[in-house]
Amino acid sequence: MNKKDLIGIFFNHPGNGQISNINYDELKSYVSSFNFVKKVWDSDDSPLLDRSLMVSEIQKIGITRLVIVGHDTGMVKAFFNSVFKYMGLPVEDVLLADFREHGALERNDTELAKAILVCAIYNVPFEIAAKPGTSDVCADTLVIGGGISGIQASLEIADANQKVFLVEKTGTIGGHMAMFDKTFPTLDCAACILTPKMVEVGQHENIELMTYSEVQDVSGEPGNYKVKILKKARRVDISTCIGCGTCSEKCPSKAFSEFDAGTTLRKAIYIPFPQAVPNKYLIDAESCRHVQGKKCGVCVKVCPVPGCIDLDQKDEVVEITVGNIIIATGFKVFDPKRAEQFGYGKHPNVLTSLEFERLINAAGPTGGNITYRTKDKKGNWVFTTGGDVPDTVAIIHCIGSRDENYNAYCSKVCCMYSLKLAHLVKEKLPDAKVYEHYIDMRAFGKGYEEFYERIKKEGIKIIRGRTAIVESTNGKLIIKSEDVEKGKLLEKKVEMVILAVGLEPTDDAASIAKMCGIDVDGAGWMKEVNYVSDPVNTLSGGVAIAGLCQGPKDIPDSVAQASAAASRVLQNILKGKVSKGISSLTFSDIEKRARELSTIKYD
């Protein structure tokens, strides 16, 4: 058959309730540049498909091929199949260009949609036309972030005898998990799970640990990334510091402890927490008297190791070459000062959940006794070990989550950790009244619903209806809420309020994502290739994500994802090749390749 191929294109818009920002008009103007595209239909213009009408239309124009493009294309394929069958044309010539298949819809990427369309027009599988090239892989791996995800990923790779650089921003690895008292739903001691892993990382021959360091720049290409790492001046020599603590004892200046979520003070020369890895001291430049230009230097004088402390040490930049990168930068908690109605920062006994985790922890400010903040002699509000014990504690859910004013998404873990905290309060103070104010209870994981049922039986009052206002009169906190199930207005006096704060991306997540060439979504979480089928890889070749930087998740999910990310990296190392990632291809590359490979001769 020497007759030239002519093509018709049917644009299928998303159905009711589905949102797509793909620019259909741009696609239409693109296809109109082809002279062999004879007819363009639109599902919005003809929502009801009439077979006899379509047959006569197709016969009139002489179309031999048809592309159904858009969303849910399979839904209309049967119709066009029947049309083609009726006309005696091969149904194989009804081609699909579905935006869901290659993630164009999820990313609202019109360029990608165009590429999918052009592959369908030339009848070349998208995977073949849009196959990114590969490059050789350097076997070393960079892991950014030393929380549980970063630790897990590093250990997985290092245990497979591959070299790992683990870069951590703070003075120790461990991340948020190290701050937690217990994990839900098993109520295992968080430190008991984490610290052995931390020690393993510290001692592993294949892991080069770079704490108090930040990734400054990533250049190069997949398989061969040049990474500049800023080693911030620790001012204490890790190799010679014996961790005796004399310096810290004598140090005159204090600052709020990051590890204790600001509930205690630490010295300017400090060790983040007793189980820190590396278990070495560091100096906080902002609170150190010497660094701030005042006369000091006590630590240098008392240090038993000569030359260990160098107060004038400068930041240093090192450059490493790695083949793969795993981003595990984690999260920060929502700052409840942004939601004034809850009185955080105004009333001393309104705490964030993270502060309460420290308070209830045996290594926390009160040695694990739950007391509320009282004024000390200097007028500061502090926790004291022998302080007053609250007899009523209220936990308010969804602070900064599921709230259009702050973050519309659900932070996923707050319901469960709130239940855990309620349990811990009840465990330590059996006579205390504990109230949970929730919007919807989301006990979503293995054993979680059972945990919820268990907590319900422990005498904790679980009330549907988020608290709206936290006020204070005569030192007592008053929370106002509505019991939605009973339709009752509640105004309760409590002694302590715990705000179940939501999770947000870290401040530097966006810059790290940009360095590595990956996108972040509207909320700032990093984007994966496909949330359902490829939640670990990113559009940049050789860059995987793990843990909270992708979106809120709990510890088991983070660990699982970290292992998955490690397996992706090991895959690349074993193959010796890494895909350059679809982002290395431009639309014209794909178009050109599709034209070359195509067996259809249109012109």
Partner 1 sequence: MAQRVDPTFMKSLEKFGVKDWKDCFHCGNCTASCPLTEEDYQFPRMVIRQAQMGLKDKLKSNLDLWMCYFCGDCTKTCPREANPCEIMRSIRRFQISAYDWTGLSKKFFTSTTWELSFIIGIGVIVLALFALFLPPSPELWTNPALFLNEQGGVMINNMVESISGPQFVKIIEYGDWTMAVVVGGLLISNILNMFYLTLLKDKSLHIPFTAYFTEFWKLIFHFSTQDKLRKCDDKSYWVGHVLLMTGYTIMFVIIVGLLPKFQIEEIVPWYNWQRLLGYYATIGILVFLIPVVIGRFKKKKCKLKHSHPTDWHFIIMLGLTAISGILVHIFRITGMPIATYISYVLHLAILVPMIMIEVPFSKWSHLAYRPFAIYFAALKKAGVEKEKVEPTPAFA
Tell me which residues touch partner 1 (CB under 8 A). 339, 341, 398, 402-405, 439-440, 464-469, 480-490
Looking at the Cβ atoms of 171 and 400, the one nearer to partner 1 is 400
* Residue labelled with tokens 């770079």: 210
CB of residue 491 to partner 1, shortest distance in Å = 9
Looking at the Cβ atoms of 361 and 392, the one nearer to partner 1 is 392
CB of residue 483 to partner 1, shortest distance in Å = 7
Burial 493-528 (b: 16+ CB within 10 A, else e): ebbbbbbbbbbbbbeebeebbebbbbbbeeebbbbb
Looking at the Cβ atoms of 265 and 439, the one nearer to partner 1 is 439
Q: Can you state the angle between helices 414-428 and 353-360, rounded to 10 degrees?
A: 30
Paired tokens of 494:
């409590």
CB of residue 357 to partner 1, shortest distance in Å = 24
DSSP summary character for residue 53: H
Q: Which helix or strand (DSSP H or E) is residue 227 part of?
A: strand 224-231
Looking at the Cβ atoms of 121 and 399, the one nearer to partner 1 is 399
Looking at the Cβ atoms of 185 and 400, the one nearer to partner 1 is 400
Contact partners, residue 283, CB within 8 Å, separation at least 6? 233, 234, 235, 236, 268, 269, 291, 299, 309, 311
CB of residue 18 to partner 1, shortest distance in Å = 16
CB of residue 433 to partner 1, shortest distance in Å = 19
Looking at the Cβ atoms of 135 and 407, the one nearer to partner 1 is 407
Determine the 3-state secondary structure of 81 from DSSP.
helix
Looking at the Cβ atoms of 113 and 500, the one nearer to partner 1 is 500
Looking at the Cβ atoms of 29 and 341, the one nearer to partner 1 is 341
Outline where DSSP puts E strands in 86-170. 94-98, 134-136, 141-144, 164-167
DSSP summary character for residue 525: P
Q: 117 and 69 in contact (C-beta within 8 Å)?
A: yes
Looking at the Cβ atoms of 489 and 523, the one nearer to partner 1 is 489
DSSP summary character for residue 548: G
Looking at the Cβ atoms of 38 and 456, the one nearer to partner 1 is 456
CA distances from 338 to 97, 293, 556 (A): 46, 34, 30
Alpha helix locations (H) across 435-586?
448-456, 509-515, 555-575
CB of residue 323 to partner 1, shortest distance in Å = 45
CB of residue 492 to partner 1, shortest distance in Å = 11
Alpha helix locations (H) across 414-508?
414-428, 448-456
Count CB-CB contacts under 10 A for residue 220: 15
Looking at the Cβ atoms of 114 and 466, the one nearer to partner 1 is 466
CB of residue 343 to partner 1, shortest distance in Å = 13
Q: Measured between alpha carbons, how far is 281 from 216 in angstroms, rounded to an integer?
A: 24
Q: 10 and 66 in contact (C-beta within 8 Å)?
A: yes
Looking at the Cβ atoms of 267 and 466, the one nearer to partner 1 is 466
CB of residue 444 to partner 1, shortest distance in Å = 17
Nearest to 260 by CA among 250, 245, 274: 274
* Residue labelled with tokens 């707050």: 414
CB of residue 471 to partner 1, shortest distance in Å = 11
Q: Measured between alpha carbons, how far is 563 from 567 in angstroms, rounded to an integer?
A: 6
CB of residue 401 to partner 1, shortest distance in Å = 9
DSSP line for 323-342: SEEEE---EEE--GGGSGGG
Phi, psi of 521 (to 5 degrees): -85, -175
Bridge partners, 213 (sequence order): 231
CB of residue 455 to partner 1, shortest distance in Å = 20
- Could you tell me how many helices (H) and strands (E) the chain has, helices first? 16, 32
